[in-house]
Every structure is written in C-alpha cells, then in structure tokens.
C-alpha cells in the first residue's frame, strides 16, 4: 500500500493550498505562518510582502494559490476571505557531513517543511 496523500475535507466555504518541499526548518516557517493566522487575506498579503524573513516569499505564493483556488474552484468572494488555518509540518531532512578535527565528522541537517493554508469565506458583519 502506497503513501496516503495529504487529503483534507473542505467545507463549501473553504479552500486550501499545500506547498510540500520548502527548504527551511519548520520552526522558522511557523514563525511566518503565525503572523498571518486569523487575518483577512489582503492584510495577510501585505504582511508577507513587507516581512524581512526569506521564507515569507514562499508563504505568500502558497497564500496566493489558496486565494486562486477559492475563487476559481469554489466560487468564493475574495473580499470576504480570511486565513482560517496556516499550519506547518516536517518533511524530508537531508543529512550532510563536514570533516572536523582528529578524523571526526560534523553532521549537518538540511530540513524541508510543508505548509498548508486554509482560507475561509466569512459573512460581513454590517
């Protein structure tokens, strides 16, 4: 039996996007994901645009993909979207070696992460 893909049940007022091989540690990626949780999508995009973190570009691409999925695949209004969930998981870890003194070796871990962003349409409170 093969590996199960990251399948997620979505409500009729939700859409999501997954970025699977982001070359950064999950801890660093989660710092950026924490900045955009529970925000309207226009504010979240502005936050990512002016963030000084390198990985914010990847998060912004994933958020734009989730917004496009909401608009094209689910017919949601992009003006009423919020970032309902933004969660991070571990992925592959490349192991590399570096020579050290006295014939020893230093281990270098190069982690990869995955990011899932769920956007939800909310009704405006007038």
| Tens-place pLDDT, residues 58-85 | 999 999 999 999 999 999 999 999 999 9
Only one residue has tokens 């660093």, namely 28
Q: Report which DSSP code applies to 12.
A: T
Number of residues written out for the chain = 126
Sign of the CA dihedral running 33, 37, 41, 42 = negative
pLDDT at 100 over 60: yes
Statement: residue 4 has pLDDT above 70:
no
Residue 2: inside a domain, yes or no?
Answer: no
| pLDDT averaged over every residue in the chain | 92
Q: What is the extent of the structural domain holding 108?
A: 14-121
In a domain, 8, yes or no: no
Looking at the 3D structure of the chain, how many domains does it have?
1
Residue 1 inside a domain? The answer is: no
pLDDT at 126: 46
pTM of the model: 0.88
Instruction: Report the share of the chain in percent with pLDDT over 90.
Output: 87
**Which string of b and e fits 61-76 if b means at least 16 CB within 10 Å?**
ebbebbbebbeeebeb
pLDDT tops 70 at residue 15: yes
User: Is residue 5 included in any domain, yes or no?
Assistant: no
CATH (domain of 66): 3.90.470.10
**Taking residues 38-51, what's their average pLDDT?**
97
Q: Is residue 4 part of a domain?
A: no
Classify residue 111: in a domain, yes or no: yes
């Amino acid at each position: 039996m093969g590996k199960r893909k990251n399948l997620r049940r979505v409500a009729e007022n939700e859409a999501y996007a997954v970025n699977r091989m982001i070359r950064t540690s999950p801890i660093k990626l989660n710092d950026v994901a924490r900045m955009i949780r529970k925000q309207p999508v226009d504010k979240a995009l502005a936050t990512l645009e002016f963030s000084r973190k390198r990985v914010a570009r990847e998060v912004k691409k994933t958020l734009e993909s989730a917004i496009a999925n909401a608009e094209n695949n689910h017919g949601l209004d992009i003006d009423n979207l919020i970032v309902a969930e933004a969660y991070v998981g571990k992925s592959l870890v490349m192991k590399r070696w570096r020579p050290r003194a006295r014939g020893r070796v230093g281990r270098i871990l190069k982690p990869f992460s995955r990011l899932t962003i769920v956007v939800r349409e909310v009704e405006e409170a007038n």
